[in-house]
Amino acid sequence: MSYTTIAQVAGMFPTFTRNGPKEPADTLIQNYIDDVAGEIDAILQRRFQEAYASLGFTAWQGSFSTDQLNLLEKINRYGACAQLAEVFETSGIAAAARVAKGFEDEFRELCNKLNARDPDGKPRAQGGDFDYLFDPLAKVETPRPQLGGVAGGDQYPSETSSEGSTNVFRKWDRREF
């Protein structure tokens, strides 16, 4: 399943006339779109197996929200645009080289975020930027403290009362239960 259309990809090139005599055909653009969509699907299938295990990939994919589809459309569009810009560049359109680089950089950055990779292609320990969007059970970073306590605070309050400390490690804080 492709996430973008030929019209959306062609729209990224204001001077491009679809199906012109010297322009790439719509079938070629659709091939680029499908190629990139295949890469996206491979990332989704590898990264989010737990999220779609009970439904199956196709059913899970069919239930994507607007936000999910918008993100995937953008990734698909930029990847196809990068390939199309390379075609223009080989045709002798010099400005396409700069455009192709920008599309390729944006595509790679978005793919890395989806795939939980750093710019060098190495896995990121904290996961991908879009993990929670595709898997609500994914671990997410939070600005809230994850561990409450002070050094030595793992002792029972009765054992530290002689030290004049009133700090209590959360382990003994019954308000959490």
Q: How far apart are CA 144 and CA 131, in angstroms?
A: 19
Residue 4 reports pLDDT greater than 60: yes
Residue 125 token pair: 């320990």
Q: Which pLDDT score is estimated for 175?
A: 55
More confident residue, 101 or 40: 40
Residue 89 reports pLDDT greater than 90: no
Residue 150 token pair: 């002070």
What ranges in the chain are assigned the alpha helix state H? Answer: 6-10, 26-47, 49-52, 57-62, 66-90, 95-115, 131-134, 157-160
Q: Which pLDDT score is estimated for 140?
A: 73
Rounded to 5 degrees, φ, ψ at 117 are: -125, 150
Statement: the pTM of the whole predicted model exceeds 0.85: no
Whether residue 112 contacts residue 119, with contact meaning beta carbons closer than 8 Å, is answered with: yes
Tens digits of residue pLDDT in 23-76: 899 999 999 999 999 999 999 999 999 999 999 999 999 999 999 999 999 999
